[in-house]
Chains A and B, each alone.
Chain A
Amino acid sequence: MSEFNPTILAFCCNWCSYAGADLAGVSRLQMPPNVHVIRVMCSAAVKPEYVFKALSQGIDGVLVLGCHIGDCHYMTGNHRTAKRFPLAQKILNDVGIDETRLKLDWVSAAEGEKFQQVITEFVGVIKKLGPNPLREVKF
Chain B
Amino acid sequence: MNELGKKLCDIAFDKQKADYLLAMREESGNVAPVFISKGEDIGEANIDYPYQLVTILSRIYPWLNKGKIAIVARRCDEKALNETIKRGLFDGNRIAVIGLACSKEQIKKCRCNDPVPTKVDIGEPNNGVNTDELMNKLQRISPEERMDFWVRQFKKCNKCFACTTNCPVCFCEDCVLEERTFVAEKGIPPGLSFHMIRTFHLADKCIECGECERSCPVDIPLLTLRKMALKDIKDLYNFKPGDRETASPMLTTLEGELLEDDTHVC
Q: Give A contacts to B, CB under 8 Å.
A: 47-49, 52-53, 55-57, 69, 76, 79-80, 82-84, 86-88, 90-98, 133-134, 137, 139
Closest-by-CB residue of A relative to B262 is A80
Q: By the criterion CB–CB under 8 Å, are B193 and A96 in contact?
A: no
Q: Which residues of A contact B193 (CB under 8 A)?
A: 49, 52-53, 55-57
Closest residue of chain B to A99, judged by CB?
A: B143
Q: For the complex, is B172 an interface residue (Cβ under 8 Å from A)?
A: no
A139–B191 CB distance below 8 A? yes
Given contacts A52-B192, A53-B197, A92-B196, 15 further A-B contacts (CB under 8 A): A47-B176, A49-B182, A49-B197, A52-B196, A53-B181, A53-B193, A56-B193, A79-B254, A83-B237, A83-B250, A83-B252, A86-B236, A87-B232, A96-B148, A139-B154
CA distance A138 to B88 in the complex (A): 41
Separation of A84 and B147 alpha carbons in the complex (Å): 22
Q: In the complex, how many angstroms separate the beta carbon of A35 from the nearest chain B beta carbon? A: 21
The answer to whether B200 and A52 have CB atoms under 8 Å apart is yes
Give the CA-CA distance A98 to B143 in the complex, in Å: 7
Chain B: residues with CB nearer than 8 A to chain A?
A: 138, 143-151, 154-155, 176, 181-182, 187, 189-193, 195-197, 199-200, 203, 225, 228-229, 232-233, 235-237, 249-250, 252-255, 259
Complex A-B: 15 CB contacts under 8 Å: A49-B182, A49-B193, A49-B197, A56-B191, A57-B193, A76-B254, A83-B250, A83-B254, A94-B138, A94-B232, A95-B225, A133-B147, A137-B192, A139-B189, A139-B191
Min CB distance, A112 to chain B, in Å?
27
Chain B interface helix/strand/loop/mixed: helix
Interface of A is mostly: helix
- Taking the closest CB of chain A, its distance from the CB of B36, in whole angstroms, is 41
Q: Which residues of A contact B149 (CB under 8 A)?
A: 96
Q: Which residues of B contact A95 (CB under 8 A)?
A: 146-147, 150, 192, 195-196, 225
Can you name the residue of chain B whose Cβ is closest to the Cβ of A93? B143
A-B interface, 4 closest residue pairs, ranked by CB to CB distance from nearest: A96-B147, A96-B146, A90-B232, A56-B193
| Contact between chains at A137 and B232 (CB < 8 Å) | no
CB nearest to B157 among chain A residues? A139
Check B200 against A56 for contact (C-beta < 8 Å).
no
Residues of A within 8 A of B150 (CB): 95-96
Residue of A at shortest CB range from B179?
Answer: A49
Tell me, in angstroms, the Cα distance from A35 to B52 when the chains sit together.
Answer: 46
CA distance A63 to B243 in the complex (A): 35
Q: Which residues of B contact A133 (CB under 8 A)?
A: 144, 147
- Cross-chain contact of A49 among B176, B190, B252, B254 (Cβ < 8 A): B176
User: Is B203 a contact partner of A87 (Cβ separation < 8 A)?
Assistant: yes
Cβ of B176: which chain A residues have Cβ within 8 Å of it?
Answer: 47, 49
Contact yes or no, B236 A137, CB < 8 A? no
Given A56-B191, A90-B236, A94-B225, do A137 and B151 touch, yes or no (CB 8 Å)? yes
> Inside 8 A of A87's CB, which chain B residues have their CB?
200, 203, 229, 232-233, 236, 250
